[in-house]
Amino acid sequence: MTTFEISGNDFALDGEPFRVLSGTIHYFRVPKEYWADRIHKARLMGLNTIETYVPWSLHEPLPGVWEDSGRLDLGAFLDAIEAEGMKAIVRPGPYICAEFSGGGLPGWLFRDAPPVAHLNNREAAGHTPVRSLDPAFMEPATNYFRRVYDIVAPRQITRGGSVILVQIENEYGAYGNNHEYLQALTDLTRACGIDVPLTTVDQPAGTMLEDGTLPELVATGSFGSRSAERIARLRELRPTGPLMCSEFWDGWFDSWGEYHHVTDPAASAFELATLLEAGASVNLYMFHGGTNFGLTNGANDKGLYRPLTTSYDYDAPLDETGHPTPKYWAFREVLGRFTQLPDEVPSDRGPAPVRSGSFSATAPLSALAQEWLPCQSLTMDSVGQYSGFALYRCFNDDDDVSTHTLTISEVRDRAIVHADGRRVGVLERMDNDQTITFEGSAQNIEILVEDMGRVNYGPRIGEHKGLIGPILLDGEETGQWEIAPLDLDNLAPVLASLNVEQEGEEDVAVVGKIKEPTFVSAEIDLDEPADLFLDTRGWGHGLVWFNGNLLGRYNRRGPQRTLYVPAPYVRAGANQLLVLETDPVVDMRWGLLEGPDLGPIDW
């Protein structure tokens, strides 16, 4: 039987010292058809291990409903790592951060929590069960771990597989210091058959390392600079045992309304070399970032709400589309000083197909409003909707046509307001908007609310989405509200109501008829499947599907200006492009560019 254990200051594989040279690839951010390619390119750069988080919220979107097909097939991902002759590290959370919606915690965990509570910091820890021993959290978490470990346990290196390390929690020291909780997770992990070494990860700042680990666990660090100082802090905590940076931040994420973040390859390579010269093991976060497909992007809120872009390129060594960057070659040179490199090197990317055209069919967003429900708490969560859009409406007796002021205590996260069929404005959480003033009647108020991404780090994890009341019209509370959840997983009503423009009629988009939230559709003919880059410049704010695959969001705020369409989502011949545009656009056309455009950078 193969062994992997701690031996003195080293990891040991079958009794021989083994330095972990790892890179992160999130299987859920990469099409399954591309896993083998990305893993292979990691080995060509000099890595011997692949690390991944496991997102609870994707695998269990509703209590007891387990999803593991397609790009959620964790077992197949671990098998692909083994097939490449590499090792694997699994980090199942339950909280993962990862700039992922809600930090990977399912929205249904918080359905019965107060909608206005700040649910996830040390001061508020007594008000919420998450990341604690409270049975309301531990019971569903235990069920989740058992499902995950049923997949991971038989794939451990001790049983002929690839998994060499499993992580307990994730940067828990930034959240709390309940060691009984960490011990319970450790005991559960062992009881589920995990026998490889267990780790924790925390930032080497304050008491986070001490608060987030246990004596029997391998304490590792997360940082991207001042490597010598951080390694010294780790050695101060643990005078013996392996040194490891489990998250070597080699880039950064992007948020809407900001610049595209990049880091200097030479500076990152220097920090990597410093780590390796100190004898440490390392995991690059990220080796390949991938894409926040669907509605999975996270958000941050430190007084200003900032949702992440659809691209999770991260300025990683392998870019969002799977091609080497200058950082790839800089890191390969460093790694070559410490390990034997393969002779093979990956090839460069050629240009993608370039096309352009106009949209030929429309359908109203209201086609998705299949059922109106009474809405007492005004949140989407209260009716079991944990992402996407919801439509609210309220009927008022007031038929005054003078100036009105609508005030909403908090919008989570974007609200398009209509009064008696007129679009009267938009309230943006990104701008801390609460009030809108408009002219004309206000007997029927409709508000389209979008969840733009759940906070993944800090005190606002677990907050409800939708409208946080009270809602006032001219200083008085409005009448009873109703809510219609809009099911973006079932587009049949939209496809059935698409109004195809007849030959000879003016094009719907070119003449500027996109004035209200509307689906627009186009057919794109291609010779063969290929990676595509959809140009979103000139568009407003919305979502894109390609052949039924929800690619993610676009936003005129930038920085991201193209959406990546992976070749596995593309067909030879006719392809359907479907766009939900929520803002007025005068001349909305579609275009394919020969490469990605993630926006201007800020050094």
Residues identified as active-site = 171, 247
Q: CA angle at residue 36 from 84 to 28, to 5 degrees? A: 120
Phi-psi domain of 114 (left: phi exceeds 0; alpha: psi -120 through 50; beta: other) = beta
Which pair of tokens denotes residue 71?
């790009």
Q: CA angle at residue 54 from 599 to 382, to 5 degrees? A: 85
Q: How far is CA 136 from the centre of its chain?
A: 25
Instruction: Tell me if 226 sits within 8 A of 205, measured CB to CB.
Output: no
Residue 473 CB contacts under 8 Å (≥ 6 apart), including other chains: 396, 398, 404, 405, 406, 407, 442, 445
| Closest C-alpha among 462, 476, 471, 460 to residue 375 | 471
> CA 248 to CA 166: how far, in whole Å?
17
Sign of CA dihedral 527, 530, 536, 542: positive
**Amino acid identity at 309:** T
Taking the CB of residue 250, how many other CB atoms lie within 10 A of it?
27
> CA 533 to CA 590: how far, in whole Å?
11
* Run of H or E including 565: strand 562-565
Which pair of tokens denotes residue 354?
């370039």
Instruction: Tell me if 289 sits within 8 A of 314, measured CB to CB.
Output: yes
Instruction: Tell me if 21 sits within 8 A of 339, measured CB to CB.
Output: yes
Written as one string, the DSSP assignment of 114-142 is -TT---SSTTTGGG--TTSS-HHHHHHHH
**Cα separations (Å) of 558 from 60, 84, 119, 297, 590?**
31, 37, 30, 15, 17
The total number of residues shown for the chain amounts to 603
Taking the CB of residue 44, how many other CB atoms lie within 10 A of it?
17
Written as one string, the DSSP assignment of 221-283 is EEESS-HHHHHHHHHHH-SSS--EEEEEE-S---BTTSPBP---HHHHHHHHHHHHHTT-EEE
Instruction: Tell me if 158 sits within 8 A of 2, measured CB to CB.
Output: yes
> CA 139 to CA 131: how far, in whole Å?
12
Per the DSSP assignment, residues forming a β-bridge with 25 are 288
> CA 257 to CA 539: how far, in whole Å?
15
